[in-house]
Structures are given as structure tokens and as C-alpha cells.
Structure 1
Amino acid sequence: MKLGIMQPYFFPYIGYWQLIKTVDTYVIYDDVNYKKKGWINRNIILVNGEEMAISLKITKVSQNKRINEIEIENDVIYNKKLLKTIKETYSKAPYFHEVFNLIENVINQKETNLAKYLTNSIQEICKYLNIQTTILLSSDLKKNEVLKGQDKILEICELLSAKEYVNAYGGLSLYSSMDFESKGVKLKLIKTNDIAYSQKELANFVPNLSIIDVMMFNSPVKISAMLDDFTVIKDFAPQIHSVSISD
């Protein structure tokens, strides 16, 4: 069984969805600490050809809280403005109507827990993109809460009987392939290839935007092909753990 684990994000970039699609089971890492100025509750779209941040309005934020302890401030006026920005930006995009309806339903959902809200949005986008991966919440797994970093990931691999653990290429500096192999798990990293598509009248493609941008300009079938457009890194030297991952 191939396993992937990552924090939930707000309409994340295409590499996030590549990871979900390529594994059998995907664990949303919702019981690790929230990081301020990260991508958990924000992302980037293009507005008038320029990159602009969009975000969820959250309350009582603290890096001492876990993601599943953060609440969303369900501000109707704020959400209307956010949807207006997205609508005005992408109204002429070829897949605007079906995608905007999806985004509107996600943003207007009544869920106020950040982790559950983001999980709902991830599941809805998976349905739209016909991704069949099983999705679980880390907080639903009975595990040793004392473990941290790589050891916590390895425990989840053991709990779910994973034979392969797949991570985004950034994991090269976070994990040791030898440590995984010692537990009977093959560590693989995936690196998104150069993916480009037409973004209205823009002459120069802007990569790594929110999946919103990808969905507005491409059909689910075309996006499915994009989700397979990555390089698998199987063999790499063991890394020195100079960087620690979230607890």
C-alpha cells in the first residue's frame, strides 16, 4: 500500500493533488501545530495578471495550537468579497461555471473547524477531479502522541501497513531513506515536472498557483493527465536531519 501524509491546505497547488492521486491512502495531518504565514489557510491566484493572496479568515490563531484546534471566522461579508474577487478574475475562463459553483459551495460551507473545513474542500475537489484515493485524518488514528517528526510518520506507516511512503520532493531534507527501509517501508519522493497551460491573455505562464487557476482553465480530463506529470525519485543519498518536520 502506498501512503502519503501532509497537512491540509487551502486550495493548494497542483503538486499537492499529484501526491494524493499517486497514493492509495492519504492522511491529512491535522494534529500538528499550525504555522503562521504558511499555506494552510491561504493561497495565490492571478488578478489582472498579478499574483494575489486569497485566504480564509481564521480566529484565535496560535502556533501553539494544532491545525484541528483552529476555528474559522464565518464572516459572510468577507466570504462574499472573496467569491467576488474569484468571480471577477475568472469569469471568462473556459471552465468558470462548474468550477465556481464548486468553489462557492466550499467557501460557503458551515463548518468552522479549520481542519474539517479543509478536509471537506479536499474531498470535494477530489470528487471533481475523479481522484479515488482513500482519505483519512491523522487525528482519527490511535498513535503515540509523544513521537515527533519522522518517527511519527513511521508510526503511521506501521499503523496503516504501508509498504511505500510517498512525499513531495521537499522531503529530501526531512527524511532518511535508510530509516524507512529499516522499518520495511520504501521511501519515494515525487517532483512536479514543468506544467504549463493557457492563462487567458498572459504571454508568460505563472506556475504553482492555487488549484483554482488550474481548474478554471483545464478540463478534469486534462488535469488528470497533469496529475501524472511528475518524476519519481527512488534512489537518493541518506540525508542528515538538519531540518525537523512538524510535530
Structure 2
Amino acid sequence: MTLAIMQPYFLPYIGYMQLMGAVDTFVLYDDVAFINRGWINRNRLLINGQEHLFTIPLKDASQNKRINEVHLADDPKWRSKLLKTIEQGYRKAPCYQTVMPLTEKIINFTTDSIADLIYFSLVELNTYLGLSTRLVASSTIYGNSELKAQERILDICRQENASRYINPIGGMELYTTPAFAQAGIDLKFIKAKRADYPQFKNDFIPWLSVLDALMFNDIPNLRKLLGEYELV
């Protein structure tokens, strides 16, 4: 069984989705410290030919809290504002009519938890893309939050009976192959390849939110994009 563990990101870039599609079980690491100005509640869209950073407003977010302890801001207007921005940016995109109802379903999901919103969004994306990946929130099952760094990752792998663990390429300095090999786990790193696709008539802007890829590509093309990576 192949496993990956990642902090929850809202409408993440396609490399995140490639990792999800490459494994049998994808663990959302939601009981670790929240990162200010990270990608948990932010991402980038294509608006008027330029990249546009959107941010979901949060209530008293702090790196002293775990991700699953952080709540959405009380003012619900951010939902309609974000949907309006997406409509303005993508209403002429080829897959808008199909993807916008999914987007509305995700953004209007009733919750005050950023972790729950992201979990719901990834389940919906998982289904839309035709993936069979099992999604698990780390806060709900493993009971090992006292462990740190690599030891906690290895413990989750053991509890899931994983034979392979895949991590983003940026984590090569965090994990050691011998430690995983000693536990009987094959350690691999995923490296996303840049996969261009038409974005209206402007020069391609890579690594935007996966929502951008959804707006411009049908399911067969999306599945091809999800395979544009290598394991090292």
C-alpha cells in the first residue's frame, strides 16, 4: 500500500493533486501547527491574464494553534466574493459550465473549520477526477501527536501497513532512506513536471490552483496532467 502525508491546502496546485493520485491513502496532516502566510488558506487564480492571490479569511489564526483548531472568519461574505472573482476570471473558460457548480458546492460548504472545508473540497476533487484515493485526517485516527517529524511519519506508515511512502521533492532533506528501509518502507519523492495547457490567449502561467486546470481541461486531459511527474 502506498501512502502520502500532506498538510491540508485549499484548492492546491496540480502537483498536490498528482501526489494524491499517486497513492492509495492520502493523509491530511491537520493536527500540526498552522503556518501563517502558507498555502493552507491561500492560492492563486488567473484573473485578467495575471496571477491573482486569494485568501480565505480566518479567525484568530496562529502558529500556536493546530490546523484543525483554526476557524473561518465570522463574516460569510468572503464566499460570495471569492465566487464572484472566479466567475469573472473563468466564465469564458471551456469547462466553466461544468466546473463552476463544483466550485460553488465546495466554497459554500457549511462549516466554520478550515480543516473541514479543505477535507470536503479534496473529497469532491477526488471524486470529480475519478481517483480512488482514500482520504484520512490525521487528527481522527492515529493518536500519535506526541511524536515529531520523521518518527511520526514512520508511525503513521506502520499503522497503515504502508509498503511505500511518497513525499514531495522538497522533503528530501527531511527524511532518510535508511530509516524507512529499516521499517520495510520504500521511500520515494515526487517531482511534478510543468505541463502547459491553453489559458485563453495569454502566455501560460504555471502552478496556479488546480481550479485553473479544471476550468481549461476536460477529464481525459486532466488525467494526463495528473500523470506528469516522476518518482525519484
CA separation in 2, counterparts of 1:21 and 1:94? 24
Instruction: Give the Å deviation of 1:55.
Output: 1.7
Residue 157 (structure 1) aligns with: 157
Q: Which amino acid aligns with 2:38?
A: G
Unaligned ranges ≥5, structure 1: 234-247
Could you list the runs of 4 or more consecutive aligned residues of structure 1 that deviate by over 6 angstroms after TM superposition?
none
Compute the displacement of 1:51 (Å): 1.1
| One-letter amino acid of the structure 2 residue matched with residue 126 of structure 1 | N
Q: 1:31·1:138 contact (CA, 8 Å) conserved in 2? A: yes
Structure 1 residue 142, shift from structure 2 partner:
3.0
Contact 1:143 1:156 in 2 (8 A): no
Distance in 2 (alpha carbons) for counterparts of 1:10 and 1:46: 16
Secondary structure at 2:5's aligned position in 1? strand
- Unaligned stretches of 5+ residues in structure 2: none
Residues 1:213 and 1:74: Cα distance change in structure 2 (over 3 Å): farther
> In the alignment, is residue 208 of structure 1 matched against residue 207 of structure 2?
yes
Shift of 1:193: 1.2
Match of residue 48 from structure 1: 48
Q: TM-score of the superposition, structure 2-length normalised?
A: 0.97
Q: In structure 2, what is the Cα distance between the partners aligned to 1:149 and 1:143?
A: 15
Q: Deviations over 1:12-62 (max 9, x none)?
A: 000001111110111111100100010000000111111111121110111
**Secondary structure in 2 matching 1:173:** coil
Give identity over the alignment, percent. 42
Aligned counterpart, 1:232 = 231
Residue 167 of structure 2 aligns to a residue in which SS? strand
Deviation at 1:76, TM superposition (A): 3.1
Aligned residue pairs total: 232
| Equivalent residue number for residue 125 of structure 1 | 125
Q: Which residue of 1 aligns with 2:93?
A: 93
Amino acid at match of 1:148: K
What residue number does 1:220 align with?
219
Q: Are 1:193 and 2:224 an aligned pair? A: no
State the distance in 1 between where 2:95 and 2:67 align.
Answer: 32
Distance in 1 (alpha carbons) for counterparts of 2:213 and 2:157: 31
Give the residue type in structure 2 aligned to 1:115. A
Secondary structure in 1 matching 2:172: helix
CA RMSD of aligned residues (A): 1.0
The farther-off stretch of 137-146 and 178-187 is 137-146
What one-letter code is carried by the residue in structure 2 that aligns with 1:17? M
